[in-house]
Structure 1
Amino acid sequence: MTDGTRSVAHIIIVGNEKGGAGKSTVSMHTATALARMGHKVGALDLDLRQKSFGRYLENRAAFCARNDLELPTPIYRDLPAVEQADLSEGENIFDRRLSLAVASLENECDFLVIDCPGSHTRLSQVAHSLADTLVTPLNDSYIDFDLLARTDPETNKILGPSVYSEMVWNARQLRAQAGLKPIDWIVLRNRLGAQQMHNKKKVGQALDDLSKRIGFRVAPGFSERVIFRELFPRGLTLLDLRDVGVKGQMNISNVAARQELRDLLKELRLPAVDVDF
């Protein structure tokens, strides 16, 4: 970390296999919060088509340039291009591109935040095996829960792990074979509604039951708030509002969102991180 006790970056993977769960919002706020706390942070976006995390950081650079500002910002890199002729026999081109990108950042950063696409891809699969910490944002519904486990529609009993959980299991096996530390897996219940509806309680109970079976921690994520949609075009986060003088920065919703971010960073339990905002 910044005290010199670690030689390579702690890798934080943000992923699940469904779009619209707030992965890029979580990635951006986690990465910039760590940068604000004095850590050197690298950033990669593995969604080569949409690049929401990458676009968020591009918007931040443009906003800072327009307003002559210097805001704490992660070091963002695109995946390098690789020629087919440069690959070893049987080597996957995406494996090489990801390996080169990680290698370009891991020795100069304390943390590396990698945002995965909302679909199953080779890049996402390999990235999960690199995770020291895995953050899976999940909307509070059975549609999202189905990515983690199959349930009986009549009894809500968990029948077994589903596609995403199986991918995480495989990643854990690969890490164990390589003698690496186990993945610390956190499932974020994102976008909780203000009302405690019966369905949400059932999803919450199902998550608690499943967490004990397949080994993850459950944490509250971000509520759905207008502020997140307003921040993206300028590349800003909740922690930037005071610096840029955004009107209405201290309204009750923004204060609550900032508290959610603080709670999230604490719940990640990252090495040598003292959440001080």
Structure 2
Amino acid sequence: MSNQSGIPLPSELPTALKTRYKGAVELRRAQADIPQADQYLLDTRDQAGFTHTDPWRVLRIQSEFVEGFGTLADLGPAISVFGSARTKRGTEHYAIAEAVGRLLVQCNFAVITGGGPGSMEAANKGASEAGGLSVGLGIELPFEQGLNEWVDLGINFRYFFARKTMFVKYAQGFVVLPGGLGTMDELFEAMVLVQTEKVTSFPIVLVGTAFWTPLMDWVRSTLLGEGMISERDLSLVHVVDSAEEAVEKIVAGVGSLPRP
């Protein structure tokens, strides 16, 4: 049943409408199943098609960088916070991420996350409720839908590499909470950038010794043990257990308190 204007009543609306974002475009229902932009870019099976589409795709990639640079240019001091999209509300990891966001704002940092659910949502929530700037850099994915409700300034990207540039370019450090493959990707990329001096004075803090110690033990015993890295590389990250310790390490690693 509809009202007299023909507009469906709330009870008639679909309860689980499939939605996906593709940059600034919102896709619903069957349109949400089309391939991702990164898939078009990286899947080289259709070589003939690429000769016709790649030059145009370069312009789209360029537009993502221009949009990101223009939007974040006046952001001021900021910290990127990473963690699992699968972290549940009410868990310890969620509470710590929320506290990290709040404490960073109290130290005059903006908070940047991937804009998704879980730990990202928690950090955005802590930052927003503390009155700071809560930034979300979303990405086109088949299984996540849009930016979380606590993002005050959001950008949706098609391409991972454009988005990842923004995480580093506009942040003075990383706080990394327990997470999966995406979190590991960001962590090791940040370590490489510091190791190769692409970025300087860039603290990286891992929160959760129980979660991170097995990984760091493997890094020490295997990577360092077989000469794949140097002893100095191990000093690139700090492992702590609380939000307070994490923010203390960030402030110390930046070198001085940021501008208010």
Structure ID, larger Rg: 2
TM range, normalised to the smaller chain? 0.3 to 0.5
TM-score normalised over the length of structure 2: 0.39
Task: Point out which structure has higher relative CO (alpha carbons under 8 A, 6+ apart).
Answer: 1
